[in-house]
């Protein structure tokens, strides 16, 4: 596969809980000739079983030291399960300017543990903790069972034996540290939203960290991500599907760097109206600011990245494709404390209401079987209609939480806020042919006395527009992220 200018020289690969560097050997062999692979043993595992430092930060330090020693020009990070959380922490350090990690070009997250606490049933966690310190026979039996429970179909006998041996040579303290602490570390705020192009690989039969978990907990932290689901596979993808994993990684590394979405288009005649003396300077400045393109890696200030992703998903069901990020603009408004000056008395202040409303919506979705972000459009619409009609069953355990009546009021507020934000953008005003912005400028009379440049309107008859009024405009259909022409608004 041809390399792009953005292709890395080295793929640094991190393993799952109980695995080791050799987990990645089948994938590395298939990537030979495409990219070199540096698979590492994390502290407490594989050849590093005697190395301590089991929390996420310490493991990230361990990997950063290996990268510094390798001195790659450009490198990609691939993290499997536990290793993915470490990879995300390293990516944040890279984007924050760590000189040892300056060459990071791509992320690959394989059945990844998310930045937030890992979703694992407490009963299962206790069972995994119970046998790691047992007698040798029990440990051997349970280690093999652990491998078998995490695949969609049986591994080849040699691969199963090797994976079982990896689990058995892991330091029990490292195993316990991950299950009791590392998996529960909440890095969501520290990770924020990453710009590094990312590939998410998920096994269709992975119960905890499969497609639904990746959509709900990992994807919201990535501005440029592709998700690929390997149907029938479980959690140990590098061992189960090395051909598919290698092919997906090779394609990801060869792809051109993602382009930021084009700004919403402002047609030339409307841009000219905004720039004219007919528009009040303060209004012009506001319109110019609203026309600025959105940052795809916008870091939310009032919400967290998952809540922002939920808000984007809700707005997408309420409004047509706007061509700009309404949810990010709402978050910025919530963070500023600005608003329309009123709220329903049954609702808390706006920012708290948004956090609670989004959490309640997702909790109701999960109670019905799948997170909101893992549902298709029809599934999302059904939940939003229930919220609108006061039928949404919000679990008592949701925290923060709005009850069914409050959800009706909050969703009404959200729709009003979203529509107000949509209508305030000059691209929307151009689509509507709204010329009222030209009624308050600083123009002066023309020499012929027709006052074309004066603020306000002269013609008041029906279907009798002023000569300077632009026609309503309908943009060509386009997909989010597609390049589109845009006239400058200055």
How far apart, in whole angstroms, are the C-alpha atoms of residue 310 and residue 297?
A: 15
Tally of CA atoms within 13 A in the half-sphere of 443 that contains its CB = 24
Angle at 300 between CA 14 and CA 194, to 5 degrees: 25
Half-sphere exposure of 293 (CA within 13 A, CB side): 17
Beta-sheet strand order (sheet of 104-110): 36-40, 10-14, 75-80, 104-110, 198-203, 225-230
Structure token digits, residue 277: 């003396």
Cis peptide before 300 (omega within 30 of 0): no
Q: Phi then psi for 488, rounded to 5 degrees?
A: -70, 140
DSSP 8-state assignment for residue 228: E
Assess contact for 67 and 75: CB atoms under 8 A: yes
Query: What 3-state DSSP class applies to 484?
Result: coil
The pTM assigned to this predicted structure is: 0.89
C-alpha distance from residue 455 to each of 440, 449, 451, 489 (Å): 5, 14, 9, 20
Contact partners, residue 246, CB within 8 Å, separation at least 6: 27, 30, 31
Task: Report strand pairing: 198-203 vs 225-230.
Answer: parallel
Tens-level pLDDT at each residue, the chain (490 residues): 555 567 899 999 999 999 999 999 999 999 999 999 999 999 999 999 999 999 999 999 999 999 999 999 999 999 999 999 999 999 999 999 999 999 999 999 999 999 999 998 899 999 999 999 999 999 999 999 999 999 999 999 999 999 999 999 999 999 999 999 999 999 999 999 999 999 999 999 998 899 999 999 999 999 999 999 999 999 999 999 999 999 999 999 999 888 888 888 899 999 999 998 888 899 999 999 999 999 999 999 999 999 999 999 999 999 878 889 999 999 999 999 888 788 899 999 999 999 999 999 999 999 999 999 999 999 999 999 999 999 999 999 889 999 999 999 999 999 999 999 999 999 999 999 898 888 877 656 555 555 455 566 777 777 778 778 887 777 655 444 333 333 444 3
Rounded CA-CA distance 153/175 in Å is: 25
């Amino acid at each position: 596969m041809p390399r792009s200018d953005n292709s890395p020289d080295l793929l640094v690969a991190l393993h799952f809980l109980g695995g080791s560097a050799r987990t990645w050997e089948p994938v590395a062999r298939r990537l030979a000739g495409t990219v070199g692979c540096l698979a590492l043993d994390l502290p407490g595992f594989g050849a590093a079983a005697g190395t301590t430092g089991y929390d996420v930060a310490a493991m990230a330090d361990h990997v950063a030291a290996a990268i510094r020693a390798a001195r790659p020009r450009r490198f990609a990070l691939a993290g499997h399960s536990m290793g993915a959380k470490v990879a995300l922490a390293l990516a944040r350090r890279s984007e924050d300017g760590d000189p040892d990690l300056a060459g990071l070009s791509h992320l690959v997250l394989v059945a990844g543990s998310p930045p937030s606490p890992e979703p694992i049933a407490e009963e299962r966690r206790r069972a995994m903790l119970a046998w790691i310190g047992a007698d040798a026979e029990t440990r051997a039996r349970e280690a093999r069972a652990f491998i078998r429970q995490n695949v969609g179909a049986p591994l080849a006998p040699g691969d199963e034996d090797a994976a079982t041996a990896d689990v058995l040579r892991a330091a029990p303290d490292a195993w316990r540290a991950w299950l009791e602490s590392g998996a529960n570390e909440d890095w969501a705020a520290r990770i924020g939203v990453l710009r590094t192009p990312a590939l998410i690989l998920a096994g269709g039969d992975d119960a905890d960290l499969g497609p639904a978990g990746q959509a709900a907990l990992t994807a919201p932290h990535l501005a440029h991500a592709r998700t690929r689901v390997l149907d029938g596979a479980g959690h140990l993808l590098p061992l189960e599907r090395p051909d598919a994993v290698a092919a997906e990684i090779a394609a990801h590394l060869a792809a051109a760097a993602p382009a930021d979405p084009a700004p919403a288009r402002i047609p030339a005649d409307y841009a000219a109206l905004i720039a004219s003396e007919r528009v009040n300077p303060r209004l012009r400045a506001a319109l110019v600011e609203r026309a600025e393109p959105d940052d795809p890696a916008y870091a939310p200030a009032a919400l967290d990245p998952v809540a922002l992703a939920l808000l984007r998903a809700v707005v997408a069901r309420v409004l047509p494709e706007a061509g700009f990020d309404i949810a990010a603009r709402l978050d910025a408004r919530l963070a500023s404390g600005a608003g329309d000056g009123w709220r329903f008395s049954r609702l808390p202040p706006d920012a708290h209401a948004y956090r609670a409303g989004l959490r309640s919506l997702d909790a109701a979705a999960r109670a019905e079987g799948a997170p909101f972000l893992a549902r298709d459009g029809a599934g999302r619409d059904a939940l939003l209609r229930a919220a609108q009609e006061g039928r949404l069953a919000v679990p008592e355990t949701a925290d923060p939480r709005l009850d069914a009546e409050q959800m009706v009021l909050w969703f009404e507020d959200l729709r009003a806020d979203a529509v107000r934000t949509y209508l305030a953008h000059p691209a929307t005003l151009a689509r509507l042919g709204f010329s009222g912005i030209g009624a308050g400028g600083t123009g002066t009379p023309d020499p012929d006395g027709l006052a074309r440049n004066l603020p306000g309107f002269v013609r008041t008859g029906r279907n009798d527009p002023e000569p300077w009024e632009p026609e309503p405009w309908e943009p060509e259909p386009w997909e989010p992220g597609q390049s589109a022409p845009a006239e400058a608004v200055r």
